[in-house]
Every structure is written in structure tokens, then in C-alpha cells.
Structure 1
């Protein structure tokens, strides 16, 4: 048996430059392609959400460290986030109506803790929910309750934040740490500067939030205006959070129309 002689153009066929661009990981992961990767991270999630006819969301933030059987207030916060996921899904329009559109679908960061609880409540209601996961040094895995087809993973925090904000009809914030504060102040800044539509922002468990943030001190120091304290409200629990959203005019039931997201 004789060896097959090499093809005269073997070097050309094996060259990285000959790869199709979309199948060339070295090319796609090059720093010069960062803008393309941004676009891909936007488009992949956007296409999936449109396929599911998700027009709007209710974003739920909170600590990944909260546990259902944890210490202190952890079981209460977990239970209320779970209850809120169910309440919002049952009452907000997450099921396909006659218009074929889903509104106020629960969206979280996709991880454990409060995020898991909110996705879990939506699943228990039989409704879809979204998990916008992020790659971290210690790999974050998606929780077991977000809808598999609506469970995403992002490399860029900026693109993940955009997807969290662009369809949001409301933001409900449970107790959390640096990440929760980051997302909360991101949305408060967008509201304050008029870069996002007017949406209700509700912070659950007033005692917790007042113990970690003194927003009145910002007013006293002239860093924000008194009216800025009206950008958010406090609620004691899941039912209270839902009532706050209703009082602030949350759009509940889908009406016929496109599934175009808000411009931010």
C-alpha cells in the first residue's frame, strides 16, 4: 500500500487564512473583532427573544448568595422572590395571548439565589422566563428554572446589561451586594438622565436597603435632587411589589403589535 502523495495545494488548504471567517475561532477571538463579538452577543439573544415573541420583561435582581434554607432573612427573601416570579407570570401577560405576544416575562441574571427563586416562581406558574448569564472567573452556571431556550451566556457585561434593560417594563430589586447595587444604580442613572423609558423601580425590604444605602444623604449633599428619590419605591414583599408596579401603571396585558424592544 502506497502513501497518497500530498496535494500540491496542501499548504494553501491548511492555511488559517483559507478558513471561512465564521468558522475561524482565531480570527473571531482577535481583539480587532471585538465589535463583531458585541454584535453577535446582541443578535443571538435578540433573535431568540423575538422567536418567543417576548416584547417586554420584568427584571428581577438580587443576591446570588441567598439560599432557601439560609440564615437570617435569606429564606424570606428567597420565598418572596419565588412568589413574585409566580405572581408576575400569572398576572402580567407572560403567556401567549390572542395577539401572539408575551409581556412582562420574568428576566434575571440566570444564576442562583434570588435569580433562581424568581425563575422558579415563573416555572411553577407554567410561564417562560429568561436567564441572562455572564461568564465569570468562577464559572457561573444557569439555575435549573429558566426556560432552556431563553437561557443565555454573555462575555460582555455591557451587552448583558443592554439586554436586561432594553425590554424592561419594570425592575424589582431584592437584597443583594455589589452586583445588585451595580444593576440598580445603572437603571436609576438611565431613568434620571432620560436615557431609558419611565419604568417603575421597586426595592423589596425597606429596612435592608436603608441599612446599606443612605440616599437622603445624597440629597443633603446636593449630589442628587429631591425629585430623584421618586425614581423608586419600597415594598415589603412580593404582593407589595406587584401592587407598587400596578400603582405606577405597569402595562399588564399584551395588545396587538410588534415585538420591537425599547430604544435605550
Structure 2
């Protein structure tokens, strides 16, 4: 019975290659380069003018009455009072909270929107001239890293983890300059970081102890903003230098 159920489930999954000519698919790859180039050029031209900003990541599914939504909004507002703008993924949930807080604080509010079949619609709190749309996740992630002076990482799902670990990896491997990465809500992150310490570091020796210094865990809006402020004071750097 389990086998029949398995087969039935398999039949409901559409094969993206059904009815398509493989050579035709491959030939379209070359033309995709121009679309990718256009997204890079448009992103570089618009984001080079935004000034110092901090990216706020988190779940698109978080509702506006959730305490963490309100916390993200407070963090964004506090950042604007320190002279930073806010960059988000442009969608609902934590992204909306970040843009809403930035707008309330009178700061720059940027949205890097990605076209998805679900969840992702631009939120109404993005500056009109700072709402960018992307087809490619990897282009969008380049923009986050290149034009952010710090990452505030709220509770989220796979996409949030992807953005977090990519940033840590790029800093760890010296592909980009170091910037502050702040994980908000210790109760959410403690399990993951515990596994990183116990398995990746201690048991498997897959990372160095110093890699754990690449991020900071906090619980309040004031703590999150203070980490950003302390980083640039400690290293005597200026955002967007």
C-alpha cells in the first residue's frame, strides 16, 4: 500500500523536462546571459546611490501581529536613527516589517524583490525609486552583500538560512570584507548554533573556533543596532567606505 501511495505522489509531480527538447533548453542558456547582465547593471546603478544600509532578513510568512515582526520593525526604525537605511527582500513578513520601520524612521527603504510563484509580493513600505525586481536569486544575493554594511537576521526559513550561511562563507573565505552579522532571538537560533559548535566544530573539525566570532546573537532591538555601531567603531571603518 505504501508503494502505491508513493507512486501516486510521484505522478502528481510535474517533470520540468517533459515534452521539451533538451538541446533547445541548452541553447537558451546563452540568451539568459543578457538577462543576467541587465539585472546586474540595473542593480549596480541604482544601489550605488543609496548610502549606508543594513539588510534585514527573515521569514516572508511572519504575520504583522507577531512579536518578532514588531521587533524587526523596531530594529529598522532604530537603524534609521543612527543614519542607516534598510534593505530587505521587498516582500511580506519580516521584510515588510523592516521596510515599514525604515519608512517610519524617515530613512532609506530598499526592496530587492524576487519573482516567485508564491509568497513574494512587493510590500507598500519601499521607497518608490528603490524597488528592484530580480529573476535570479544569485544576482539578488550579490546586491545584498555588495551594498549592505551589516546583516540583521531574524527568524526565517530556508531562504534566510541560505543568505546567512552564504555571507558567513564569503567572509570566512576572505572573498569579501568582514561586516557585522547579527542573529536576533536566541531561542530561535540556539539549536542551530549548538549543532554548529557540537558537530561542525568539535566532532568533525569542519570549521575553526574563530568562525564562531563571525556572528553575534542578540534578543533586543537596542542590542542588534549596538552590534552594528560597535563594529564600525572597533575597526575604525566608515560604512560604505
Q: TM-score, normalised by structure 2?
A: 0.81
2:64 is paired with a residue whose SS is coil
The residue that corresponds to 1:245 in the other structure is 228
Give the conservation status (yes or no) of the 8 Å contact 1:110–1:131: yes
Deviates more, 1:151-160 or 1:208-217: 208-217
The residue that corresponds to 2:23 in the other structure is none
Shift of 1:157: 0.6
Give the conservation status (yes or no) of the 8 Å contact 2:114–2:133: yes
Shift of 1:42: 1.0
Match 1:125 to one of 99, 105, 123: 105
Distance in 1 separating the partners of 2:30 and 2:119: 25
How far does the alpha carbon of each residue in 1:97-126 deviate from its partner, in whole angstroms, 9 at most, with x for none? xxxxxxx32001011111000100011012
**Dislocated runs of 4+, deviation >6 Å:** none
Structure 2: unaligned runs, 5 residues or longer: 1-26
Distance in 1 separating the partners of 2:167 and 2:64: 27
Match 2:69 to one of 78, 81, 99: 78
Distance in 2 separating the partners of 1:173 and 1:108: 11
How far does the alpha carbon of each residue in 1:46-85 deviate from its partner, in whole angstroms, 9 at most, with x for none? 22234xx22332111011111122xxxxx22111100111
1:59 and 2:39 are equivalent in the alignment: no
Higher relative contact order (CA 8 A, sep 6+): 1
Structure 1: unaligned runs, 5 residues or longer: 1-28, 70-74, 93-103
Distance in 2 separating the partners of 1:139 and 1:222: 38
The residue that corresponds to 1:89 in the other structure is 80
1:215 and 2:211 are equivalent in the alignment: no
Aligned residues: 210
Match 1:233 to one of 216, 220, 236: 216
Give the conservation status (yes or no) of the 8 Å contact 1:171–1:200: yes
1:178 and 2:174 are equivalent in the alignment: no
The residue that corresponds to 1:146 in the other structure is 126
Give the conservation status (yes or no) of the 8 Å contact 1:59–1:108: yes
Larger radius of gyration: 1
Q: Which structure's residues are more often helix, by fraction? A: 2
The residue that corresponds to 2:184 in the other structure is 204
